[in-house]
Amino acid sequence: MIPFNKPFLTGKELHYISEAHARGQLAGDGYFTKKCNSWLEEKTGSHKALLTHSCTAALEIAAILADIQPGDEVIMPSYTFVSTANAFVLRGGVPVFVDIREDTLNIDERLIEAAITPRTKAVVPVHYAGVACEMDTIMAIARNHNLLVIEDAAQGVMATYKGRPLGSIGDLGCYSFHETKNIISGEGGALLINNPAFAERAEIIREKGTNRSQFFRGQVDKYTWVDIGSSYLPGELIAAFLWAQMEEAEAITAKRLEIWNHYHQSFEDLEASGRLRRPAIPEECRHNAHMYYLLLRDLEDRSAFITQMKEQSIDCVFHYVPLHSSGFARDKPRASAAKLELTSTLSERLVRLPLWIGLSGQQRNVIQSASSSLSS
Ligand SMILES: *Cc1c(COP(=O)(O)O)cnc(C)c1O
């Protein structure tokens, strides 16, 4: 079986984990966490980066920083992972779903303004497949209406929009280092605080609502309960693992892009013949080869494709069930009433191909010829 995903290891992970072990500090915010935070700040130009135990955690901190109160509305796509919405729902927020663009499957920036009401607090662009949303337009709308922009850049590490790293453009940005992403630590994430006004409170929320970070810097003489919060930071062993990955981030991205480009060339003829559609990358976006997907004719076509690929021992998957059509949204009139034509049709047509470092040339050829032979 050619698996859909296989986590890539650089070979240095255990070395750094044993170094962390030898240093004797295993809780969070030690030597390796600081290295990872600095790397993120240098790479993205963000004012402050804080490792978290997941992107979900980073989104939850962002929702607290945005001061989401019960009934506050947050504009986002329905075509996304559940955490994009749940982070705000946990605070009593109401996700307001907007349809996606036909080309990138990202939130359609032209539909955002019409979704704004007096209760709207924030917009959450999700950079699907590491391809940027139309951020200049989104930022301009948000500034006009006094809304925060929280980027769900879970899939966007090492990708840029007009030369700017994803996650560093909005007020806040959220990264994931889950093992299914490009740069990994098993579970893991980070919050990028681009708007300095949020920096101090973000540290406090992440450290259980205490001013412990200030205490360790010698800025206060004791630490105490000052706000709401939770334990959102990873331990040092995770950070040590992640550091090994960050050191290789350029090489990892280059290797993934090579596989992506190979797929893309392979499917050019099938796209030209109208059999399927390949991912579209706008001029201003440099993506990170987070995923390779194909858009087939319809749900039936996709199901047949996945079954036939499985028969040839190739594991292809799809996602997401749009959030507005999920079981959880069903009894929430605002969420489930959304008419999201493209979200519904595109999500049923999309299939993801295996993309991981180590996929051999031979395996790639097997996948490509298996895909092509189905396509008459
Ligand atoms: C993976 C992902 C998340 C969640 O990341 P975790 O680190 O697993 O919490 C959130 N949003 C999007 C778009 C994702 O792809």
pLDDT tens digits, one per residue of 144-154? 999 999 999 99
- β-bridge pairing 120-123 and 148-152: parallel
pLDDT of residue 334: 74
Q: Within the chain, where are the H helices?
A: 13-23, 31-44, 55-65, 82-89, 112-115, 135-144, 199-206, 212-216, 236-247, 249-266, 268-272, 299-311, 333-336, 341-349, 361-373
Give the single-character DSSP code of 159. -
The residue nearest atom 14 of ligand 1, judged by CA position, is 154
Nearest atom (ligand 1) to Cα of 128: 13
CA of 145 to the centre of ligand 1 (A): 27
Q: Answer yes or no: is pLDDT of 336 > 90.
A: no
pLDDT of residue 373: 76
pLDDT of residue 124: 98
Give the pair of three-digit tokens for residue 289: 């080869």
Closest CA to 312 of 347, 354, 276, 278: 354
pLDDT, tens digit, 9 for 90 and up, residues 8-57? 999 999 999 999 999 999 999 999 999 999 999 999 999 999 999 999 99
- 48-52 β-sheet, strand order: 48-52, 189-193, 172-176, 148-152, 120-123, 73-77, 94-98
pLDDT of residue 376: 56
Nearest-angstrom CA–CA distance, 202 and 64: 9
Which three-class secondary structure state does DSSP give residue 16?
Answer: helix
Nearest-angstrom CA–CA distance, 352 and 213: 42
pLDDT, tens digit, 9 for 90 and up, residues 85-98? 999 999 999 999 99
Torsion sign (Cα): 323, 324, 326, 331: positive
pTM, two decimals, is 0.97
Percentage of the chain beyond pLDDT 90 is 93
Mutation choice for ligand 1 from 155, 177, 287, CB with most ligand atoms inside 8 A = 155
Q: Answer yes or no: is pLDDT of 335 > 90.
A: no
Q: Answer yes or no: is pLDDT of 375 > 70.
A: no
Q: Answer yes or no: is pLDDT of 338 > 80.
A: no
pLDDT of residue 333: 73
- β-bridge pairing 120-123 and 73-77: parallel
In the chain, what's the furthest Cα-to-Cα distance?
Answer: 72
Angle at 360 (CA atoms; ends 359, 364), nearest 5 degrees: 80
Q: Answer yes or no: is pLDDT of 329 > 90.
A: no
Mean pLDDT, range 120-145, rounded to an integer? 98
Which residue in this structure is represented by tokens 């996709």? 302
Average pLDDT, the chain: 96
CA of 82 to the centre of ligand 1 (A): 8
pLDDT of residue 372: 82
203 φ/ψ angles, rounded to the nearest 5 degrees: -60, -40
In order of their start, the domains of the chain are 13-247 (3.40.640.10), 249-374 (3.90.1150.10)
Percentage of the chain beyond pLDDT 70 is 99
pLDDT of residue 332: 79
The residue nearest atom 2 of ligand 1, judged by CA position, is 154
Mean pLDDT, range 224-250, rounded to an integer? 98
- pLDDT band at 339; cut points 50, 70, 90: confident
Greater pLDDT, 371 or 5: 5
CA of 57 to the centre of ligand 1 (A): 10
CA of 55 to the centre of ligand 1 (A): 5
